[in-house]
Amino acid sequence: MADESESMDTTKDESQKPESLGRMQILNNALTQARKKIISSAKLQLFQKHLRPIHKKNPEVLKKMHLQLTKQLDCHISEEVMLMFAEEQMEKILDDLDGIIASQKDNKELAWRPSGDPQQDSQVHNIPIKEKQKAQLQHVITQLEHQNTLLRDHVALRQKKLLGTKRTVDNGIDKWRQKMAIGRTDSSK
């Protein structure tokens, strides 16, 4: 009970003036509250329910186990959070963020979207991308047109050759027919 009243007092103190605290302190406070909620969810009644044989034989041992487990869990969670903060250099990152926010408070320049119309404001960023895509597409079109010209010329040459071959075949057939006609007239005489 005393622990709960102390935690209530500290959470009230922690949440009273968040603007005066740095982001690191706010993050620490939030993680401390979350850790306390996690630890408080490991209630003695759950231990008694799930470890009934131990509770029946020696309830004091179960209480000691519960206390030891919750203390170790609290300690391990705290160590992991501190290790993560150290490895990721969270304090430096959050201090830098505080500095950026503080430096921008006095900035009178317009925001990124001064018009309020995202489509209009994004045009400034999209135009170079679209122009690059347009240039790439024009290059592809030029290549395709060149290929089409080459293919058209190739097809025209093939058609000329085919027409020449057709004429040669037609002339051969005509000569053959003439010879056949002459041969028929000769054989009929």
Domain count, the chain: 2
d(CA 70, CA 77): 10
Q: Average pLDDT over the chain, rounded to whole?
A: 83
Look up residue 105 and give its two tokens: 């408070």
Average pLDDT over residues 93-120: 76
Q: How many CB atoms lie within 10 A of CB 19?
A: 5
- Reported as a pLDDT band with limits 50, 70 and 90, residue 11 is very low
Asked if residue 6 has pLDDT above 60, the reply is no
The radius of gyration of the chain from alpha carbons, rounded to an integer in Å, stands at 45
- Top-confidence residue, 147 or 99: 147
Q: Which domain holds residue 53?
A: 23-88
Q: Are residues 82 and 28 in the same domain?
A: yes
pTM: 0.43
Short-list 108, 74, 85, CA closest to 25: 85
Tell me the C-alpha to C-alpha distance, in Å, between residue 83 and each of 77, 90, 128: 10, 10, 44
Average pLDDT over residues 26-38: 90
Q: Are residues 81 and 129 in the same domain?
A: no
